[in-house]
């Protein structure tokens, strides 16, 4: 067997074997150092506003890392599926190549058995010239078929080599995605642990005051937003499409279920897990992450939004919720909270997107 063929077979076997380990846990891959470990600072007993700001920053960073984790997870799924498809093509191609080689070998043996005499001599020695001419015609046809067979062999061989190269590229991409996923997981866990450590330093009374500060800040932001967007909340929740109404109903049915980063139901959700699953339940597939939902879905003006539209928050599109009408939205807020209804303007709005445009 030639060097090229040995390389092809080795690559094919590697890819086929690799399919069986695509579900290996990401902990098997070393994650790069995501930077300095975040440590919680001691909670000041008086300045709860500073504590709230610090907690907001930690949970926001966790949300950004969660989006990175979800994106890497989606990439891993896509690349794994591509590798499986390529492995199947390689297996099918090898089987086809083996059959073509058998046919080519049979044709070569038949030609060899036809003898080494020139056609003129065969015609002279033949007892039945008519039969000879018929046989000669069949031989010519056989030679033409053999050439076609060799061309097919070359094509299949080239296809197999390309499939092997493609599989190697996809495998490298999968390794990269898994490394990114592990790094994002570590970052999320660090930020959440730091936030919980900070909250653990507060007394019960301070925690209650902290919640009240959060409620007041959200109420003030919502009041300001309503004042600037009076046309948005006029009347009831009108204008939802049939799909939009289904998506809203799905999201509202998840109220009370806990936030869990990286989760997309049915027992827990992160913010984009809730919105993507709500729209999937309505029959519309949308991107998994909040940043991709912002990038890929049609943008609409805030004053034109209708129930089922998605509201994207913060300049980095790190949070997303579903508008349900009358100035309200439903979302999965952050770790330690549950899916809930809140004011649509209670956080800084980046923009609005429409899945069923």
Active centre residues (catalytic): 271, 319, 331
* HSE-CB of 299 using CA atoms within 13 angstroms: 9
Please, are residues 315 and 262 in contact by the beta-carbon 8 Å criterion? no
Structure tokens at 156: 């299949």
Tokens of 98: 């083996």
Minimal CA–CA distance to 71: which of 171, 191, 187, 177? 177
CA distance linking residue 27 with residue 55, whole number of Å: 28
228: Cβ contacts below 8 Å, ≥ 6 apart = none
Return phi, psi of residue 305, to 5°: -70, 150
Check: CB of residue 301 under 8 Å from CB of residue 353. no
DSSP structural state of residue 31: P
Sign of CA dihedral 143, 149, 150, 151: positive
Under 8 Å between Cβ of 72 and 262:
no
Per-position b or e across 119-129, b if 16+ CB within 10 A of its CB:
eeeeeeeeeee
Torsion angle of C-alpha atoms 97, 101, 102, 107, degrees rounded to 10: 140
**298-332 residues labelled b (16+ CB within 10 A) or e (exposed):** eebebeebbbbbbbbbbeebbbbbbbbbebbbbbb
């Amino acid at each position: 067997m030639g060097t090229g063929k040995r390389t092809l077979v080795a690559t094919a076997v590697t890819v086929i074997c690799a399919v069986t380990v695509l579900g290996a846990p990401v902990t098997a891959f070393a994650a790069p150092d995501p930077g300095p470990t975040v440590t919680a600072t001691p909670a000041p007993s008086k300045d709860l506003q500073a504590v709230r700001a610090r907690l907001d920053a930690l949970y926001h960073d966790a949300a950004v890392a969660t989006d990175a984790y979800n994106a890497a997870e989606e990439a891993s799924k896509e690349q794994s599926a591509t590798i499986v498809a390529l492995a199947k093509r390689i297996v099918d191609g090898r089987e086809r190549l083996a059959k073509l080689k058998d046919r080519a070998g049979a044709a070569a043996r038949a030609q060899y058995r036809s003898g080494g005499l020139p056609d003129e001599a065969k015609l002279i020695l033949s007892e039945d010239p008519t039969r000879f001419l018929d046989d000669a015609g069949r031989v010519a046809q056989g030679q033409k078929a053999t050439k076609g067979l060799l061309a097919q062999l070359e094509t299949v061989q080239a296809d197999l080599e390309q499939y092997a190269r493609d599989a190697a590229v996809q495998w490298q991409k999968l390794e990269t995605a898994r490394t990114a996923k592990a790094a994002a997981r570590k970052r999320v866990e660090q930020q959440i642990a730091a936030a919980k450590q900070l909250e653990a330093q507060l007394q019960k009374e301070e925690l209650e005051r902290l919640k009240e500060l959060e409620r007041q800040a959200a109420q003030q932001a919502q009041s300001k937003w309503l004042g600037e967007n009076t046309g948005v909340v006029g009347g009831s929740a009108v204008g939802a499409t049939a799909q939009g109404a289904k998506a809203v109903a799905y999201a509202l049915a998840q109220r009370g279920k806990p936030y869990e980063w990286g989760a997309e139901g049915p027992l827990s959700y992160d913010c984009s897990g809730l919105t993507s699953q709500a729209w999937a339940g309505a029959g519309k597939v949308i991107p998994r992450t909040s940043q991709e939902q912002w990038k890929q879905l049609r943008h609409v003006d805030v004053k034109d939004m209708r129930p089922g539209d998605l509201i994207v928050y913060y300049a980095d599109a790190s949070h997303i919720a579903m508008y349900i009408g009358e100035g309200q939205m439903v979302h999965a807020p952050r770790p330690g909270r549950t899916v809930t209804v809140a004011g649509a303007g209670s956080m800084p709005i980046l923009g609005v997107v429409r899945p069923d445009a």
